[in-house]
Copies of this chain bind each other. A is one copy, B any other.
Amino acid sequence: MKPDLNAAIQPLVVGLNAVIFAASEGELKVLVTESVEGGEPAMPFGPFNPSAHRTFEIGLREWVRDQTGFELGYVEQLYTFGDRGREAPLAALAGAQDARVLSVGYLGLTPDARPLNNTEAHWDSWTRFFPWEDHRTGRPSILTKVIEPALRSWCDEAAAPGRRAARFDRVRATFGLDGALWNEERALDRYELLYEAGLVAEAARDRGEPNAAPEGMGVAMASDHRRILATALSRLRGKIKYRPVVFELMSDSFTLSDLQRVVESVSGFPLHKQNFRRALDRAGFVAGTGRVESQTGGRPAELYRFARENLTAGAALGLSIPRAKEG
């Protein structure tokens, strides 16, 4: 009953992994470092040094600064990844050996993709890694032409009929097949399902087999970085619905169309412009500045700013728990 923590002291390395998003020209971009070797892109990561860093966040900010010359703004912890099997590719990438590698993933948001003082890091649209997640101009053809048929035959591969049905239910709910809704927040579930079905390059790579993924399934990343990126995308897509985090991606003043484009780029589907605006000012999130931006190609748009001061109330909730008056 008395747990002995000392028993657990053994080769164990904790890394910090940063998914850093910025918006630029209305597109959500992620900070990508070209891999040291092997050609697979990665995201900034580095060791957590227990003796030097009082908290994860301090460590993270420090080496992100060192690696990319970049000062992090909003930061939140994502998830801690600790499955065995992660270490092999990570060790190859970083030189660590014979140690179990955990990583604590962080999501960082920052307004505007500033140029970087480091040639190994650059901003890349997330759509390169998840082409099937971008529904802004309709359901992507990779979904209908490649993924759906491939997943249907993956379902059929299951031996027992019961397992086939279970697989299909999962595919249906996750990918919004046969009339089920596409839920943009399930980006991580989709990536994991594709991995399981062997439709992304990482699946075969991690088993040491030759690539078996179809064309067009996005760019593979080192280690499990693409899974981490999917985690971040899912989290961000969920969070913008109940916390005003989008504004962390905007500069001080912006037009409502700018804001809408960023939200669309995050969510991956188009918004209804008028209703989006109505919701914005009902919530009191933005305030006009009086100034206008006239480089829009049409009628000049007013510049707005984030109205931090209005957020005192409960400016964001979910639904369906009907609160009663004080009992």
Seen from chain A, the residues whose Cβ lies within 8 Å of a Cβ on chain B are: 1-15, 36, 45-51, 53-56, 63, 67, 77, 79-80, 82-85, 90-91, 94-97, 99-102, 104, 118, 120, 135-139, 169, 172-173, 180-181, 183, 238, 240-242, 263, 267, 269-273, 275-276, 278-279, 283, 311-314, 316-324, 326-327
Contacts and interface: CB of A to CB of B under 8 A. Distances in A.
A120 to B, nearest CB: 6
A8 B172 contact: no
Given A77-B80, A100-B50, A322 B276 contact: yes
A244 to B, nearest CB: 10
Given A1-B67, A181-B313, 10 more contacts: A2-B94, A3-B47, A3-B67, A5-B95, A8-B47, A8-B48, A55-B83, A138-B326, A316-B319, A316-B320
B324 A270 contact: yes
A323 B272 contact: yes
Q: Within the oligomer, what is the number of copies of this chain?
A: 2
A95 B322 contact: no
Contacts of A312: 169, 172-173, 180
14 contacts: A3-B47, A4-B96, A5-B13, A5-B95, A55-B82, A56-B82, A172-B312, A173-B311, A241-B318, A241-B321, A242-B318, A271-B323, A276-B322, A279-B322
Nearest to A44: B3
A322 B47 contact: no
B322 A45 contact: no
A3 B270 contact: no
Given A271-B323, A312-B180, A54 B104 contact: no
A53 B327 CA distance: 48
Nearest to A5: B96
A271 B324 contact: yes
Given A96-B6, A272-B323, A104 B90 contact: no
Contacts of A276: 321-322
A14 B102 contact: yes
Given A3-B63, A84-B55, A314 B181 contact: yes
